[in-house]
Each structure stands twice: as structure tokens, then as C-alpha cells.
Amino acid sequence: MSVCSGSTARGGLTLRWTAGGDHSVVVGSRDADRGAEAATRYERRLDQHGYDGVVTGTDNVTAAERAEVVVCSVPAYHLADTVESVADALDAGDVLVSPAVGMKHDESGAHYNRPGAGSVAALAARAAPAEVSVVGALHNLAAGPLVDLDVDLDWDTLVVGDDDDAVDTVVSLADDIDGVRPLRAGPLANAAEVESLTPLLINVARHNEGFHDTGVTFE
């Protein structure tokens, strides 16, 4: 799989999947050297925690060419441009995962910024080739604990998509992150409801002591 472009969440996902031992992760960046530097940092972090995983780093297009699952871990306002930039590198049957959430902030807190397409995942689907399945997932995984391999996770993540096989693939990948339980939440049309959980969690963390980097579980 590849995890495209830079963010703390990209690092956390890379570390968690590589620490699991069964995944080959290619880190993408707009610049190949920056991708390689990021991969070296992640490998160093894994080694410090006793893991032998190998991470490769390159540019976004090359990373997308090498992967069957591409996680586009970028801010929502860069998502469509990033997907379009790697579109020619995606093959029929590839899966594109969007964890991005559109948000705006004011003195009251964080608010879901719903795009005209209906959701950020819908924006990704518009930008992706028709033969590539888009799945929304991993939105509400707090970046701080995710990147800290000393932290035990206990979170649910909701997965939405129209292609059952693609959803199954992403559910399996999310389940491979120790402490994360993926739950199916229906078709891509439900992405807005899933994405809007993230600003809600940010507001809960802001207004309640001890809820920093909080997640969500369903019972």
C-alpha cells in the first residue's frame, strides 16, 4: 500500500501498519527525496521500538504506481488536486482511501465544513478514475497517539464505500492496526455523517479535561 503526502497521520498509519509486520508500505510525497527522508525517519522509529519493518519513500506518483491501496492522507483542501496528480498512476481495481475531513474553526470550536460534493470522500471519488474504488475510512484516529508506538489504542473507525470488495479490503487493513476496530457504515453517501464525527471529537476534547486525543467506540 502507499500513504501519499505529508501529515502526522501519514506517519502514524505507516508506523502502525509496518509494525504489524505483514504490510509493505510506500510513503509518498510531492518530492521523492522528502518521501525517502520520511521513510528513513519512520524506519528509525520502528527500530527504536524493536520492529524490523521496511518502509520505502518516493514521490506520490511512484508510490501510487507501486500500490494496490492508496491512502491519501492530506488536508481536505488538497485532496482533489492530490488525487488528480496521481490519477494516471492508478490502475483498475486499485482502492483509494480518503481519511480527510473538511473543517473550519472559530472561537466556538471546530465545525464540519461540508463541501458542495456532499462529502470529502465524494470529492475524492470525483477526482479519481472511474475504475478506481474510493473508500472513506480512518477519519477519527487522533494523530498523536497513532504516531506514538508506546500508546495502546482502543478506537473504532467507520468505513464507507460503494464497492463491497474495496470496503472489505479497507476493513481488513484497519483491523490490522492493533487496537482499532473497523465498522461498516454503509455506502459513500454516508461519508458526511462519518466525517462530521471528527470536529465533534475535537470539541469534546477541548471542553473536557482528560479527553485530549480522544477517540470513539460503539457498543
What pLDDT, on the 0 to 100 scale, is given for residue 20?
76
Structure confidence by residue, pLDDT tens digits, 31-47: 999 999 999 999 999 99
Q: pTM score > 0.85 for this model?
A: yes
pLDDT higher than 60, residue 141: yes
What pLDDT, on the 0 to 100 scale, is given for residue 159?
98
What pLDDT, on the 0 to 100 scale, is given for residue 125?
97
pLDDT higher than 80, residue 22: no
SS (H, E, C) the chain: CEEECCCHHHHHHHHHHHHHCCCCEEEEECCHHHHHHHHHHHHHHHHHCCCCCCEEEEEHHHHHHHCCEEEECCCHHHHHHHHHHHHHHCCCCCEEEECCCCEEEECCEEEECCCCCCCHHHHHHHHCCCCCEEEECCCCCCHHHHHCCCCCCCEEEEEEECCHHHHHHHHHHHHCCCCEEEEECCCHHHHHHHHCHHHHHHHHHHHCCCCCCCCCCCC
Radius of gyration of the chain, Cα coordinates, nearest whole angstrom? 16
- Look-up of cell digits 471546530: 110
Q: How far is residue 133's CA from residue 55's CA, in Å, rounded to a whole number? A: 25
- Look-up of cell digits 504516531: 147
Domains belonging to the chain, first-starting first, are: 2-207 (3.40.50.720)
Return the C-alpha torsion angle 35, 74, 157, 111, nearest 10: 150
Average pLDDT over residues 198-213: 92
What band does 64 get if pLDDT is binned at 50, 70 and 90? very high
pLDDT higher than 90, residue 21: no
How far, in Å, are 26, 88, 115, 154, 207 from residue 67 at the CA level? Answer: 8, 13, 28, 28, 40
